[in-house]
Amino acid sequence: MVTLPPALQPGDTIGLVCPAGYMSGDKARVCIEALHQWGYHVRVGTTLGSDSGNYFSGTDEQRLADLQQMLDDPAIKAILCGRGGYGVGRIIDRIDFSAFKKTPKWIIGFSDITVLHAHIYANYKIATLHAPMAAAFNDGGVSSEYIQSLRFALEGRKSKIHCDAHPFNRRGEVVGELVGGNLTLLAHLVGSRSDIKTRGRILFLEDIGEYLYNIDRMLYQLKRSGKLDRLGGLIVGGFTDLKDTERPFGEDVYEIIRDVVKEYDYPVCYGFPVSHGKENYALKSGAGHKLKVGKHRTTLEE
């Protein structure tokens, strides 16, 4: 049984941290203003705007300490990651989740934050929020349905998301726990303490900036490790800014995925609005969902 952290109440405090890549404080300004307008207090961690002089938002020790403080503080009711990038995998095995297990709170983010989602689900069976981060509030994003889906999730509302049918869809209906996130991270987590079980689950995948052959390789890593053969269902999100080699791979990303899972019979949908782009609905990772892939549209309902 998966535990869902409690919904937030007006006046609750959200912690804002950067456990991976660097993010300037200016890029979080709109996000912080919006969270205040939603009725929440915001506590900014030491890693937001921390100029380490390199890719990261601080040393491993600084990023670990900042996140640990937010996890341990009972006054913090949710933790929003400023951005992803890379870095959580360097500190994940040193995080103490003792206080978090006793009083779960929503962990929010995507991309590199997939490491946190997977680790918490695999080890503690607590749901997290795969959702837009601070930068997504900028450039008018704050009023989008995707940012609003994060607001609704924090308020405890259940989600029901629709998307159009795709020619590669495999129709069907399934109920199961929703797991997944960034394909690159999920492939790298195989065999680690953060590796997730996928049997009977609804798996969702997305990625950005990869070569097509690398997408193929990572999918075969999941397949060879048994992650794809006993799924309840598969949700294929956005794969953005992909690259090809000088000699073309010969298939686009959806064709690659179609061929990797063609031998299975579970429902599969393509083009679901979860991605590194603007189309990125908040999803309660670990929570039970119903996936229905129909003739004319797909529905994912909590």
**Final residue belonging to a domain, choices 134, 154, 174:** 154
Annotation marks residue 166 as catalytic = no
Q: Which of 8-17, 45-54, 59-68, 188-197 has the lowest mean pLDDT?
A: 45-54
Q: How confident is the model at residue 127 (pLDDT cuts 50, 70, 90)?
A: very high
Annotation marks residue 192 as catalytic = no
Same domain, 133 and 50: yes
- Does position 53 have pLDDT exceeding 90, yes or no? no
Over the chain, what is the mean pLDDT? 97
Q: How confident is the model at residue 41 (pLDDT cuts 50, 70, 90)?
A: very high
Q: How confident is the model at residue 11 (pLDDT cuts 50, 70, 90)?
A: very high
Same domain, 59 and 175: no
Catalytic residue among 177, 206, 210, 279: 206
DSSP secondary structure letters along the chain:
-PBPPPPP-TT-EEEEE-SSB---GGGGHHHHHHHHHTT-EEEE-TTTT---SSSBSS-HHHHHHHHHHHHH-TTEEEEEES--SS-GGGTGGG---HHHHHS--EEEE-GGGHHHHHHHHHHH-B-EEE---GGGGTTTGGGSHHHHHHHHHHTTPPPEEEEE--TT-B-EEEEEEEEEEEHHHHHHHTTSTTPPP-TT-EEEEEEES-BHHHHHHHHHHHHHTTSSTT-SEEEEEEEES-B--SS--SS-HHHHHHHHTTT--S-EEES-S-SSSS----EEETSEEEEEE-SSEEEEE-
**Does residue 7 belong to any structural domain of this protein?**
no
**Does residue 141 belong to any structural domain of this protein?**
yes
Same domain, 32 and 140: yes
pTM metric for this prediction: 0.97
Same domain, 198 and 232: yes
CATH number at residue 141: 3.40.50.10740
Using one digit for the tens of pLDDT, what is the confidence trace for 101-112?
Answer: 999 999 999 999
**Final residue belonging to a domain, choices 123, 154, 185:** 154
CATH number at residue 248: 3.50.30.60
Annotation marks residue 206 as catalytic = yes
Catalytic residue among 57, 111, 149, 275: 111
What range does the domain containing 170 cover? 160-301
**Does residue 98 belong to any structural domain of this protein?**
yes
Catalytic residue among 117, 119, 166, 276: 276
Using one digit for the tens of pLDDT, what is the confidence trace for 197-213?
Answer: 999 999 999 999 999 99
Using one digit for the tens of pLDDT, what is the confidence trace for 242-268?
Answer: 999 999 999 999 999 999 999 999 999
